[in-house]
Amino acid sequence: MSRVCVISPFTGLAGDMLLAALVDAGAPLEAIRAAVTDTGLTGWDLTITRVADHGLAACRANVEVNDDATTRKAAELIAMAEKIRDRAVADVAVKALRAIAEVEGRLHGEDPDQVHLHELGGHDTLVDVVGVAAALEALGIGTVHCEPLPLGTGTVRTAHGLLPVPAPATAALLEGATVIGTELRGETVTPTAAALLHALKADYRPPPAMRLGATGYGAGTRTLPDRPNVAVVRLGEASEQIRDLVVLETNLDDVTGEILGYVVARLLDRGALDSWITPAVMKKGRPAHVLHALTTPESADDVEQLMFAETGSLGVRRSTVRRTAAARTTDVVHVQGMQVRRKHGPHHSKPEYDDAVAVAEKTGLPLRTVLRQLEEER
């Protein structure tokens, strides 16, 4: 079975609301605190309190700070997130923080690493981002779905003055997301929440049929006159998932192998589910390659544009395919004192390649030796 998290942003979504909802649904607070501690962040404490909002019981995440540093450069936050020992947690946190840095850099015309984060540079952002990543990993979540995000109206006050809602950074981070209007005034979706959804590659399509498990409610800090200010998460287990996907492909006879390898990595970062290259012989006997990308319908346009930009191709073919994804689970084992993630399907198990490479590079052992030791851990 594959574990699924469905986010229902009833009145909106903030990083602390999502974190609190995941704790309410069963995420262990100890694992969250441990991941934040790995970053080297000091002068903080995370507590979860139970509150009642319009008769609905919910959890609220509270970050208590006794440190003078309230703003940091984006590069500082990213470097701290990279210290997290659990690579799955680190990957999500780094992607979310990089997304914030890139958007802020583009909006202000600055180098992303040198962007000085104001509202987003304090303890709360790092605790929320790392905490949500750690909570999802501890719960064994493989896929995140999000219902349409309600966007408020009016303005929000920032270090740069009054800005329209959604704030420019939030709007940029939500490109491709499914949103709806709401009569609520003010900021209903925060940049931190938007960056987390981006890093998690949240799927805005209806979730697959699943066996419903725990439900968690995360309370925001604002009090609304007529409804509880909460975000809801529902956890479930889905069996085999059958869905329609898109295959993009283009023939290339003038692109080097080095560039093709780079493009494959870029396509995966952009949202492709898979990307690969096959050799081909074109007209007049010219040797060539076919670049392929498998993607969701929602990401197809974005991935296609990247293929055009990076290869200079004059045409990309598009076809719809139906994929059956087998149920899978993940676990973590220790090799040479380091964590390695493993994927388990119904007929085969496989270690996470990047984790095995990290062990080999850290210990100096041949990669084949590390892989053999992982086989012995079964």
Q: What domains, with CATH codes, occur in the chain?
A: 2-238 (no CATH), 241-325 (3.30.70.1380), 330-376 (no CATH)
Per-residue pLDDT tens over the stretch 207-232? 877 889 999 999 999 999 999 999 99
Across 118-122, 127-131, 209-213, least confident range = 118-122
Across 70-84, 114-128, 137-151, 350-364, least confident range = 114-128
Q: Binning pLDDT at 50, 70 and 90, where does residue 155 land? A: confident
Helical residues (DSSP H) of 177-328, grouped into ranges: 191-199, 257-270, 300-311
3-class secondary structure, 128: helix
Mean pLDDT of 126-138: 96
Per-residue pLDDT tens over the stretch 311-366? 999 999 999 998 887 777 777 888 888 888 888 877 888 898 889 999 999 999 99
For Cα atoms 24, 30, 33, give the angle at the middle one, nearest 5 degrees.
100
CA nearest neighbour of 70 among 44, 40, 96, 105: 44
State residue 260 phi and psi, 5-degree precision: -60, -40
Between 345 and 262, whose confidence is greater?
262
Give this prediction's pTM.
0.68
**Confidence (pLDDT) at 160:** 63
Q: Which two tokens stand for residue 305?
A: 């544009």
| Token pair 């969701």 in the structure block, residue | 296
Mean pLDDT of 233-256: 89
